[in-house]
């Protein structure tokens, strides 16, 4: 089958190739890929940023989001049958959605929201799971709390805004001038135009900040939190809790060193810092599907690319041009 595989780490390491069809394990479902979306995580994995933590070994197929149709189920699978329309964010070390088909552990799969097309559903899994796990599992956001979401017009930010509003939070976000009305329509209560304003001078007293930019943006985010507030970053630096999450406790001191500066700054300010490395979770995707079907949440798709244009799609995301998710579709299957 045709797939896009990482043959060597780096910006030029992703190539189209013909590879063997997936092997279907006892607990796996084989999904005929109808659509897959591009995430910044794809670039990070392609460039080798997680090779020490997760142990990806080249060559491997890239891609973290999928929507498609089940064509085969393993003998131990009980929850899915051939013909089911599903969506998934496969677990780490079993990614590979930039392909004609992928075998996924059934625990990572859910029935596709019935009201969404394959293109729309493919835009959802990673960002929706990240938003849910950050806001519900880690931050435990309660109604009336104040949440700042950075880059609200992006694929992750647009989902974070919607989930935070669903939880009853007062939501602020940052966006460029052209996207101010867009993020307000998503539910943002306050909007800071980052091209003209410094959010750290405009906002204060927040319970939670969700950072997807890192660097100086993360440092300034700590200053807008109220005492005891929490900054959650999805771009790092990783904190020691990640070592237990990925089953590599020996990395604890290394991760402690990597995040020492930001954790120290947070402590000095009387606030908290956490790194989020999202986990595959079919049960959460099932719940999220109900929120999409009821209209509480809606996908935000910027544009689509044909499967053969996968490299162009990734380049588009890397250039920072996307407002919402970029989705790759297979011909006649969207």
Give the pLDDT band (50/70/90) at residue 332.
low
Same domain? For 271 and 169 the reply is yes
CA distance 16 to 36: 15
Q: How does pLDDT run across 174-230, given as a tens digit for each residue?
A: 999 999 999 999 999 999 999 999 999 999 999 999 999 999 999 999 999 999 999
Same domain, yes or no: 206 and 253: yes
pLDDT in tens, 44-67: 999 998 888 888 899 999 999 999
Lowest mean pLDDT among 82-86, 112-116, 153-157, 204-208: 153-157
**Same-domain check for residues 67 and 150:** no
Q: Are residues 80 and 192 in the same domain?
A: no
Residue 112 predicted with pLDDT over 70: yes
Give 126's pLDDT tier (boundaries 50, 70, 90).
very high
Q: Are residues 260 and 305 in the same domain?
A: no
3-state secondary structure the chain: CEEEEECCCCCCCEEEEECCCCCCCCCEEEEEEEEEEECHHHHHHHCCCCHHHHCCCCCEECCCCEEEEEEEECCCCCCCCCCCEEEECCCCCCCCCCECEEEEEHHHEEECCCCCCHHHHHCCHHHHHHHHHHHHHHCCCCCCCEEEECCCCCHHHHHHHHHHHHCCCEEEEEECHHHHHHHHHHCCCEEEECCCCCHHHHCCCEEEEEECCCHHHHHHHHHCEEEEEEEEECCCCCCCHHHHHCCCHHHHHHHHHHCHHHHHHHHHHCCEEEECCCCCCHHHHHHHHHHHHCCCCCCCEEEEEEHHHHHHHHHHHHCCCCCCEEEEECCCCC
pLDDT tens by residue, 272-316: 999 999 999 999 999 999 999 999 999 999 999 999 999 999 999
Both 10 and 150 in a single domain?
no
Structural domain contains residue 287: no
- Count the residues in the chain: 334
Q: Are residues 155 and 28 in the same domain?
A: no
Tell me, yes or no, whether 262 and 321 share the same domain. Answer: no
280 located within any domain: no
Instruction: Based on the fold, state whether residues 136 and 247 are members of the same structural domain.
Output: yes
Rounded to two decimals, the pTM is 0.96
Same domain, 6 and 103: yes
CATH code for position 226? 3.40.50.720
Q: What's the pLDDT score for residue 331?
A: 67
Mean local confidence (pLDDT), 148-172: 97
Query: Do the domain assignments include residue 281?
Result: no
- Residues 97 and 156 placed together within one structural domain of the fold: no
Question: Are residues 89 and 194 located together in one domain of the fold?
Answer: no
Closest CA to 329 of 42, 119, 127: 119
The CATH number for 318's domain is 3.90.180.10
Q: What is the number of structural domains in the chain? A: 2
> Which domain range does residue 166 map to?
126-275
Look at residue 285 and tell me if it is in a domain: no
Indicate whether 12 belongs to any domain. yes
- Does the pLDDT at position 333 exceed 80? no
Q: Is residue 286 part of a domain?
A: no
Note whether residue 289 is domain-resident.
no
Identify whether 282 is part of a domain.
no
The per-residue pLDDT for 313 is 96
């Amino acid at each position: 089958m045709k797939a896009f595989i990482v043959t060597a780490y780096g910006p030029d390491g992703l190539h189209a190739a013909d590879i063997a069809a997936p092997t279907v394990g006892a607990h796996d479902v084989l999904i005929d890929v109808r659509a897959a979306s591009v995430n910044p995580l794809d670039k990070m994995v392609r460039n080798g940023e997680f090779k020490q933590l997760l142990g990806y070994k080249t060559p491997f197929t890239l891609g973290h989001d999928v929507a498609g149709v089940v064509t085969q189920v393993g003998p131990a699978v009980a929850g899915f049958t051939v013909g089911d329309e599903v969506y998934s964010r496969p677990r780490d070390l079993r990614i590979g959605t930039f392909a004609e088909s992928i075998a996924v552990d059934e625990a990572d799969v859910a029935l596709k929201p019935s009201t969404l097309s394959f293109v729309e559903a493919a835009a959802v899994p990673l960002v929706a799971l990240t938003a849910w796990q950050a806001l519900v599992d880690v931050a435990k956001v309660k109604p009336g709390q104040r949440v700042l979401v950075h880059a609200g017009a992006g694929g992750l930010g647009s989902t974070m805004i919607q989930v935070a509003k669903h939880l009853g939070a007062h939501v602020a976000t940052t966006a460029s001038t052209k996207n101010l009305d867009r993020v307000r329509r998503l539910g943002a209560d306050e909007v800071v135009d980052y091209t003209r304003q410094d959010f750290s001078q405009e906002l204060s007293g927040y319970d939670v900040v969700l950072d997807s930019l890192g660097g100086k943006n993360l440092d300034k985010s700590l200053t807008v939190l109220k005492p005891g507030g929490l900054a959650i970053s999805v771009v790092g630096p990783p904190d020691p809790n990640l070592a237990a999450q990925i089953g590599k406790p020996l990395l604890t001191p290394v991760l402690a060193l990597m995040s020492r500066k930001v954790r120290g700054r947070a402590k000095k300010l009387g606030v908290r810092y956490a790194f989020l490395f999202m986990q595959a979770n079919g049960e959460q995707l099932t719940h999220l599907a109900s929120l999409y079907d009821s209209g509480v949440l809606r996908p935000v798709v910027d544009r689509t690319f044909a499967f053969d244009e996968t490299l162009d799609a990734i380049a588009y995301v890397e250039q920072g041009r996307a407002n919402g998710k970029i989705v790759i579709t297979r011909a006649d299957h969207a």
